[in-house]
Structure 1
Amino acid sequence: MPSTAFMADVILAPWLVIVPLVGALLAGLWPATARWWGLLTALATLVLALLLALQVHGQGPVVLALGGWSPPLGIALVADGLASLMVLMTAGVGLAISLYALGYLGGTARGRWFWMLWLWLWAAMNALYLSGDVFNLYVTLELVVLASVALVALAGGAAPLAAAMRYLLVSLLGSMAYLMGVVLLYGAYGTLDLQGLGAQVTLSAAPMMAAVLMTVGLLVKSALFPLHVWLPPAHGSAPAPVSAALSALVVKVSFYLILRLWLMVFPELTLPGLDLLMGGLAAAAVLWGGVMALRVSRLKQVVAYSTVAQVGYLFLLFPLLWAAPGGWQAVVFFAVAHGVAKAAVFLAAGTLQQAAGHDRLAELGAVMRGRLKTSFALGIAGASLVGLPLTGGFIAKWLLVQSALEAHLWGWAVVVLGGGLLAGAYVFRLLGPAFEPGPGDRGRPLPAIMEWVPLSLALLTIALGFAGTPALALLARTLVGGGG
């Protein structure tokens, strides 16, 4: 375990939680100006996230003991390469979602609720990424779920409310399993600190049972096949900015927790067959999500099922974690590339839906031809989901395939490549109506920002095609357990 001094003079990490929380409070107190508080908060949080990433890259992991009390008596915030990269990705995509929401929601009553809940969600995600003990991870995860459920219900109507309730109930089941694992760890070792647990956990019954309970609970929240049934209704029926936040950001939270636990707390545990089981579920998710994306008839449903498929790639983590050096870094870079691309796709879909007044894919051709910037954004971001060259998705899948081949895990390389072919099929289906003959129609008038934001995010996926080296250098600053 790398040694890290507790630094009382480092203040960036707590401010990444405080600023969004204050923004949520101000948005709630002055709802008439909530969107401007939201935009100001988003800009400030992005600046702080950039500074934190630069700090970690330059000086290595930083651990801050809150109140001057070090674990196990106190609570620590941990900012290492993994946490800072996830915070930075959340900030970049979060700013784009905030800008898009200015046009999508305007100054409506629903929009005023959105800003308070959205900033609360953002603060909870940042707190989760920076938390240094397993119980605070649980608390922040629950805050993420509660905010997400409320945002899904914000759409109103029977379908969104039913989807939100299903999301809540499934998440509570996952939370119970995770919390039982926390209790087992505390009972066995008397500490909740991630680094302290990593130094003590050995191959015995209590930590093995805790690892199973916590991983299964988080798999439910991650929507890995066959535990995905709540995801398409929730993501497909929510307002476009909420759909983008859920698919691009929130699904990464549970994956991050699984990765953090297996990097820092459970690296020495050996659960026979775990890699094959998780790899098999990942492959099934890629196949099932891709097939369903080819079958459903609505634009947002296609994008939601593509999230089910893309989540599968994240859980190739388990076959690669121990067998392929650097394999987990490839999976994390995929999570970042997917977050940017999926946000662009959902926001573009939201623009087309608002312009046409519906999201029936077969009837969107005229609007897609009339709004070429949005269709272009859909195409570029879709190319990243497929993994075509010059995009972040290509670099991510290249790293995944390279890691699998170096470890002689040929089957998982085939899963990545085959999933890319399926993704190509459903992305082509998304874009197909735009190439049908006929005149273009811009549909309902919309604020220009609703076209420029998805296009900007799509272009960012191309920039990520050149960001592999700095991202991997930042991930090299990650704290791991087991002497890794």
Structure 2
Amino acid sequence: MIERLGLMATQPAQPGISAVVLLLLGLPLLLGVLGAWFRPLRGGVVASVSLLPLLATAWLLLKVSTHGVQAWTLDVGPLALHLRINGLTLLLLLLTQALTLASAAYAPGYLRVAVKERSAGGAWLWPLLGTMVASLSLIWLAADLLTLYVGLELMGLAAVGLMLLPGHVEALAAGMRYLLLALVGSLAFLLGVALLLGGWGRLDLAGLATAVEPGPLLWVAMALLSAGLLLKAAAFPLHTWLAPVHASAWTPVSALHAALVIKASFFIALQLWLVLVPDAAVAAWLVGGMGTAAVVWGGLMAWRAAKIKDVVAWSTVSQLGYLLLAFPLLIGTTPAVAAIAWEGTWLQLVAHALAKAAMFLAAGNLILFTGEWRVEGLAGASRRFPLALLSFGIAAISLVGLPPSAGFTAKWLLLHAALAAGHWPWLLVLAVGTLLSAAYVFRLFRFSFIEDAPHFGLRRVPGGMDLIALLLALAALLLGLVAQWPLGLLSMTGGAP
């Protein structure tokens, strides 16, 4: 199991790896401070600067593809931080940099049109965004519980700060609720870490994998760790904070949060299960049951939602359920089944991240164009705002799981894994989830094609904002045609089982 996560590198890290990783973590922070100082007004300038961390990630990709998995220890005073880079890490780093570049390029136009510099939050957006990106990168790289905890806390605080930026009463109430629940999740996670440290005297994942022994202490620790992480990931039934937070958040913030932030908690949880309790099949089925409930309940709530952003937010709850199916398909199954499920899980994560970011940006554009938050208010949008609606529709193709999108390929792999394992309930979950996804997407399109629509109070929106949403949607669609590249990346660097 550890080999899948790149925790068993047998050779020292190549020269320059540590320096580039520190650059990768520090650049977003520096760029965030510069953004707060200069307040960029053009997305092109932001996009050009945001390419720098992407170039650092590309250099790491070259090194790992040549020399294999890289693992090393970074000494910070008396603390030893364990880091590693493998195919999975690189895939998540590339996804983070690409989505951050898109959201950051979208933000200046959004601030001009939607915020109009009335809020002081426009300046705070950039350092908080930089902190979030740096903390996400740290989570992908971390190979010990202390570093994971630091990254998780920094990410959570930055996410709460971003949610509070609108400054109105609804945003403050939703943000404070999010903060309270995030702190509860952090406390549970920290208690679990303390139990592991007290029981076995170490925090590095590779060492814990060989040291821990089954028993009440391990199960209590895993229960606390899992509860805290699933709360932060908005997994059913710990999801109630998600929709209110996104309803009031700025659009580029919602896009990054749904695409990346909740995925980080899922990544940590799955990693800990594979390392510490790789044979806990019964408990994994319970998590799969939570995923089933998430798919059904989230889909029904998205179908019933009255507001456009609520549709997309509840869709996130539903789609996260597919990722939770990774637990019963990876734990307690044969190596062949686990290999297929491993590929399907991470391709589903990438496909959902691209499609959900595109969908939030397209929905934000529709809201800005029309001045309407309600789904019913989109009547006639197909004639007046075809590009925004096209972006939403292309993203929905991957979300529903239609060919040739990456969402289709990922669900096909999960379906294959469930068939190979003889886990028939997950086949039903995939089928019902697909139908529910189509239902809430087609409901939104039904209103947009109503011909006798009233005249909108139109608002002018920069064309670049539509273009960014369209590019992300196309990426989610076309990735299905070249899915062998991300899957090959995992196996190329020792990330596959």
Q: TM-score range by the shorter chain?
A: over 0.9
Correspondences of 1:328-477 after superposition (within 5 Å): 328-438=342-452, 443-476=458-491
From 84, 88, 95, the equivalent of 1:82 is 88
Q: CA deviation at 1:38?
A: 4.6
SS state at 1:325 partner: helix
Q: CA deviation at 1:442?
A: 8.4
> How many residues in Structure 1 have an aligned counterpart in Structure 2?
478
Residues 393-422 of structure 1: CA distance to partner in whole angstroms, max 9, x if unpaired? Answer: 111111110111111111102201210110
Once residues 79 and 449 of structure 2 are traced to their aligned partners in structure 1, the CA distance between those partners, rounded to angstroms, is 63
SS state at 1:64 partner: strand
Asked if structure 1 preserves the Cα contact closer than 8 Å seen for 2:291 and 2:320, the reply is yes
The worse-fitting range, judged by mean Cα deviation, of 50-59 and 83-92 is 50-59
From 164, 180, 201, the equivalent of 2:212 is 201
> Which stretches in structure 1 are left out of the alignment for 5+ residues?
none
Q: CA deviation at 1:186?
A: 1.1
Q: CA deviation at 1:187?
A: 1.3
Once residues 455 and 37 of structure 1 are traced to their aligned partners in structure 2, the CA distance between those partners, rounded to angstroms, is 19
Which residue is 2:223 aligned to? 212
Asked if structure 1 preserves the Cα contact closer than 8 Å seen for 2:326 and 2:345, the reply is yes
Correspondences of 1:118-133 after superposition (within 5 Å): 118-133=129-144
Alignment CA distance shift 1:34-1:173 (3 Å) = farther
Once residues 28 and 103 of structure 1 are traced to their aligned partners in structure 2, the CA distance between those partners, rounded to angstroms, is 16
Structure 2 residue 161 is the aligned partner of structure 1 residue 150: yes
Once residues 68 and 229 of structure 1 are traced to their aligned partners in structure 2, the CA distance between those partners, rounded to angstroms, is 38
Asked if structure 1 preserves the Cα contact closer than 8 Å seen for 2:380 and 2:449, the reply is no
Once residues 93 and 228 of structure 1 are traced to their aligned partners in structure 2, the CA distance between those partners, rounded to angstroms, is 23
Once residues 409 and 307 of structure 2 are traced to their aligned partners in structure 1, the CA distance between those partners, rounded to angstroms, is 30
The worse-fitting range, judged by mean Cα deviation, of 308-317 and 36-45 is 36-45
Residues 48-87 of structure 1: CA distance to partner in whole angstroms, max 9, x if unpaired? Answer: 2233234333432111332599xx9621221112221111
- What amino acid sits opposite 1:143 in the alignment? L
The worse-fitting range, judged by mean Cα deviation, of 465-474 and 394-403 is 465-474
From 55, 58, 80, the equivalent of 1:50 is 58
Which residue is 1:318 aligned to? 327
Once residues 441 and 257 of structure 2 are traced to their aligned partners in structure 1, the CA distance between those partners, rounded to angstroms, is 20
State the TM-score, normalizing by the size of structure 1. 0.93
Once residues 64 and 388 of structure 1 are traced to their aligned partners in structure 2, the CA distance between those partners, rounded to angstroms, is 41
From 161, 176, 199, the equivalent of 1:188 is 199
Give the RMSD, CA atoms, in angstroms: 2.3
Which residue is 2:5 aligned to? none
From 5, 8, 12, the equivalent of 2:20 is 12
Which residue is 1:291 aligned to? 300
Q: CA deviation at 1:154?
A: 0.7
From 276, 285, 294, the equivalent of 1:266 is 276
Alignment CA distance shift 1:36-1:114 (3 Å) = farther
- What amino acid sits opposite 1:341 in the alignment? A
Once residues 457 and 191 of structure 1 are traced to their aligned partners in structure 2, the CA distance between those partners, rounded to angstroms, is 41
SS state at 1:476 partner: helix
- What amino acid sits opposite 1:445 in the alignment? R
Once residues 292 and 58 of structure 1 are traced to their aligned partners in structure 2, the CA distance between those partners, rounded to angstroms, is 47
Once residues 22 and 492 of structure 2 are traced to their aligned partners in structure 1, the CA distance between those partners, rounded to angstroms, is 19
Once residues 216 and 166 of structure 2 are traced to their aligned partners in structure 1, the CA distance between those partners, rounded to angstroms, is 45
Asked if structure 2 preserves the Cα contact closer than 8 Å seen for 1:110 and 1:154, the reply is yes
Asked if structure 2 preserves the Cα contact closer than 8 Å seen for 1:167 and 1:230, the reply is yes
Q: CA deviation at 1:232?
A: 0.5
From 153, 158, 174, the equivalent of 2:185 is 174
Asked if structure 2 preserves the Cα contact closer than 8 Å seen for 1:289 and 1:305, the reply is yes
Asked if structure 2 preserves the Cα contact closer than 8 Å seen for 1:289 and 1:309, the reply is yes
Once residues 468 and 225 of structure 1 are traced to their aligned partners in structure 2, the CA distance between those partners, rounded to angstroms, is 29
Once residues 56 and 410 of structure 1 are traced to their aligned partners in structure 2, the CA distance between those partners, rounded to angstroms, is 38
Q: CA deviation at 1:36?
A: 7.6
- What amino acid sits opposite 1:253 in the alignment? A
Alignment CA distance shift 1:228-1:319 (3 Å) = same
- What amino acid sits opposite 2:338 in the alignment? P
Asked if structure 1 preserves the Cα contact closer than 8 Å seen for 2:128 and 2:162, the reply is yes
Which residue is 1:238 aligned to? 249
